[in-house]
Chains A and B, each alone.
Chain A
Amino acid sequence: TISMIALHRSGAMAAGTSTNGAGHKVPGRVGDGPITGSGSYVDSDVGGCGATGDGDIMMRFLPCYQAVESLRRGMSPRAAAEDAVRRMLRKYPAVQSGVVVVDREGRHGGAGSGWTFTYAYRGGAMGETAVVSVPPI
């Protein structure tokens, strides 16, 4: 799954997700990707979020909606990502998840569970994309 957030120079933000879902799924199954607030979420006044992982579980928690609302309430991007992941871990200790959060200023952080999650970013005058590796909670 790719979940992406873009911040325009003007401050406008957008987010999106694209995936082919889970392998060997029951025909007709839909995951978290197209669910607003689960696969991704964005509010240009606050920030944005992208997620990946076990969509059958993640879509029950709307982790990206939760993370952006946590940003709105003053959490840092990393703390907001961790909070969203911990909410899932409390009910599903084995869940594989990855959440990346960015605020409207471009500050970012991530959290994951069940695997080493990575995310990529490129901004400002960066000559190449940087990849951040996030150990599992």
Chain B
Amino acid sequence: SPGLPLVINTWGGPFTAATDAAYLSLLEPQTSALDAVELGCSTCEANQCDGSVGYGGSPDENCETTLDAMIMDGGSMKSGSVAALRRVRNAIGVARAVLEHTTHTMLAGDLATDFAVANGFAAGSLSTGASAAACAAWRAAGCQPNYRINVTPDPASSCGPYAPTPLPPDYDDDDDDADRGVVPEGHD
């Protein structure tokens, strides 16, 4: 241990800007551990880090970027989170608002956006030219890879819209995930 205070986070490279921001904030006496985590994660959101955090990354099948975030207080064990947050960039800030201004744990989707706006967060598109281009290229390549299974048309070669197909009598869902190749951009 290098001693306290301490900040530690996943990944290096562009993520170290978040480490530095959070650590330096903890040198100020008025900064709490929650403040530091919020500042560190929001730094990554604003910088987009490696593209896996913040606006303009990981577009879904409809080319929309949505954000997931959570913040937790290790003293009270209280946690606030937002899932599939649409149109608001500062996801970790909204998660902290859930923690501090509700007794809930998670808000999701459009209604999480409504909560964010009502709590003073700005709303706007999370798409960028780069994310739109990435999505267009994915569609041009037959929507490969994707996460659909047991649907028609064949998701291994075709875009949707998809409809479910009946499962065979000997269907074993053990085969679905364990054998699936994990695509490079597929991780959180």
A residues within 8 Å of B by Cβ?
1-9, 11-36, 39-45, 48, 50-58, 91-96, 98, 100, 102, 105-108, 114, 117-126, 128-129, 131-133
Contact = CB atoms under 8 A, between A and B. Distances in A.
14 contacts: A1-B53, A4-B41, A5-B8, A5-B9, A9-B4, A23-B185, A24-B58, A24-B146, A25-B60, A34-B83, A120-B15, A122-B6, A122-B19, A133-B12
Contacts, number: 319
B10 A52 contact: yes
B185 A120 contact: no
A6 B70 contact: no
Nearest to A23: B185
Contacts of A13: 33, 74-75
Contacts of B68: 17-21, 30-31, 33-34, 39
Given A15-B37, A92-B177, A20 B186 contact: no
Contact of A26 (B3, B148, B186): B148
Nearest to A95: B182
A94 B178 contact: yes
B67 interface: yes
A90 B169 CA distance: 27
B12 A4 contact: no
A54 B41 CA distance: 19
Contacts of B64: 27
B71 A52 contact: no
A121 B19 CA distance: 7
Contacts of A98: 10-11
Contacts of A28: 84, 109
A32 B81 CA distance: 11
- Chain B interface helix/strand/loop/mixed: mixed
A36 B70 contact: yes
B177 A2 contact: no
A66 B118 CA distance: 36
Contacts of A8: 4-5, 26, 31-33, 36
B185 A22 contact: yes
Given A8-B26, A34-B81, A122-B20, A26 B12 contact: no
A54 B159 CA distance: 23
Contact of B2 (A5, A43, A126, A133): A126
B177 A18 contact: no
B26 A119 contact: no
Contacts of A50: 8-10
B187 A96 contact: yes
B58 to A, nearest CB: 4
